[in-house]
Structure 1
């Protein structure tokens, strides 16, 4: 389900280089969460993290596609585990973008960055 979060991109646009680092972090967090929770159950993991940055760098859309296959050792909802992993990555991404904005303001109030600039994190789980 798509989620739109204001993180101050309108005040400090994101560069393609910054986006690349953030996407790598999102991919790492999702992968590690799934490996940690599923452990021996995990047989195959296909993970695609894509970011669409507007030409002016003021808006961002993140798409996460996860396909997990594994053994059924005990009752477990793979969809729920995938959703938890994506939520963890989305929280990390939001924190990183807010911290970036707070640094710009030299330690200013990070809450004031919520007014403009949007990051849209959507995900698909199967």
Structure 2
């Protein structure tokens, strides 16, 4: 895979969306635990602090952001120009990371 593939704006947008999806999903699920145990190291709590709103309001905004990004995710992938089998494997890997995070989160004893 060439470096130009990873630097392509469509690949970067898709990759960023994938990272956002798994990060926000994790922090929405772990919000209560993180508020009690991790000293506020959570994207939702950071959003609440930045906007000067209660965590519940920040969580609602984070959920909307997550849903919006999930709706856009297929179109972001479709915007990536063809780059052969290696490019497909990379894009699949981003999607698998998002889905794997979701599956693990629901199956893990880490979350209620």
Say yes or no: TM over 0.5.
no
TM-score (norm 2): 0.34
Higher-strand-fraction structure: 1
Normalised to the residue count of structure 1, the TM-score between the two structures is 0.31
| Structure with the larger helix share | 2
